[in-house]
Structure 1
């Protein structure tokens, strides 16, 4: 390797280090996606709700190979309190899961815990009604823990790792600081922090706004 190549590589490395220092000092900027209530279903449950052999149809592509489907269902909590038009996200999963806000949980009359997606053990029970049938989940209704999706390059630039817990700040008129934000890193992810509708409304944040990782 000649001296000119060595000098170029050294310059690039130093610039990357300075960029990471600047990000750490000023706070790494992250766009926000506000996540509305939705449901993930197994294929067995899709068929129970929509009919034998039924396949979800795609409405909108999401990150990580997921998509919003055209299909919706009604979720029913205690005392037959219901919320209609809950969007199904595909593709199908190995376990069904309902994600709601705290306000939704009150409306349904269920005690949904704050959990990372997929951690449904001992969570709230809920019924799901489709056009062709009904299923009852003994557990599976949660309030999703706020989190940031990142590709590995974003995590490196921000100086964080998969599973880290950070705080972020919204520099708007509310000036809200969110603690206990989990970092989730995967090659398929696009940089975005996910909060639910309650958190968004309280902090006056909309999809497309940005926040900064502060620690």
Structure 2
């Protein structure tokens, strides 16, 4: 079928409209200057000095394996086994330096395997959290509380907080990109001179959104 000039023009216009619509849909919903890199946290343990010595022997110290993105934080060569009422997870890495209290950070999936009911908490908020047993090469420690699912959060330097117009302790919403893009709500902002810009999520959250280390999220205005 031969098309006349008017029909051809209408087809061209339709194709252009469809292409423009696709390009608009593909555009990010937020400004590029509000991108924040993602850091994915696997299960890990922060030990107190007292528990470190029980698990690894008297006068034990942590051995730096590699530095983490946040200044002064590092992954250790030392690992422990987590023991819950229903299961065990081996080779759980310790992060340094030591803290005043032992804190175990796991995912919802880990809760099912271990048989514990860890609450979603901000780091350091351990009162009434789940207990479990840690086993090291020199001994074991049962903590009555200290096991949590870490609430997703963003580390920021004060200059970045000013640029994003947010403050310490504020909770914001962010959006991921990609085929499985999601909106993470109620993300805690942590502001300190000691922080580098990065949002932390656990393995369950990362897998749900098909995220990997170095991907970006954007603040929703």
Instruction: Give TM-score scaled by structure 2 length.
Output: 0.84
Residue 66 of structure 2 is aligned to residue 77 of structure 1: no
Residue 76 of structure 2 is aligned to residue 64 of structure 1: no
Q: What is the match of residue 46 of structure 1?
A: 52
Match of 2:38 among 32, 40, 46: 32
More deviation in 98-107 or 24-33? 24-33
* Alignment coverage as a number of residue pairs: 191
Secondary structure of 2:71's aligned partner: helix
> Following TM superposition, by how much is the alpha carbon of 1:64 offset from its aligned partner in structure 2, in angstroms?
3.4
Secondary structure of 1:155's aligned partner: helix
Indicate conservation of the 8 Å contact 2:153/2:188, yes or no.
yes
Distance 1:143 1:57 in 2: 25
Q: What is the match of residue 119 of structure 1?
A: 125
Distance 2:127 2:42 in 1: 22
Q: What is the match of residue 133 of structure 1?
A: 139
More deviation in 59-68 or 88-97? 59-68
Report the CA distance shift for 1:165/1:176 in structure 2 as closer, same or farther (over 3 A).
same
Residue 180 of structure 2 is aligned to residue 174 of structure 1: yes
For structure 1, the 5+ residue unaligned runs are: 1-23
Q: What is the match of residue 25 of structure 2?
A: none
Q: Which runs of 4+ in 1 moved over 4 A?
A: none
Distance 1:195 1:56 in 2: 25
Distance 2:125 2:83 in 1: 21
Distance 1:150 1:30 in 2: 10
Q: CA RMSD in A?
A: 1.2
Secondary structure of 1:211's aligned partner: strand
Secondary structure of 1:65's aligned partner: coil
Distance 2:47 2:84 in 1: 17
Q: What is the match of residue 142 of structure 1?
A: 148
> Following TM superposition, by how much is the alpha carbon of 1:25 offset from its aligned partner in structure 2, in angstroms?
6.0
Residue 158 of structure 2 is aligned to residue 158 of structure 1: no
Indicate conservation of the 8 Å contact 2:39/2:200, yes or no.
yes
Distance 2:101 2:195 in 1: 21
Secondary structure of 2:217's aligned partner: strand
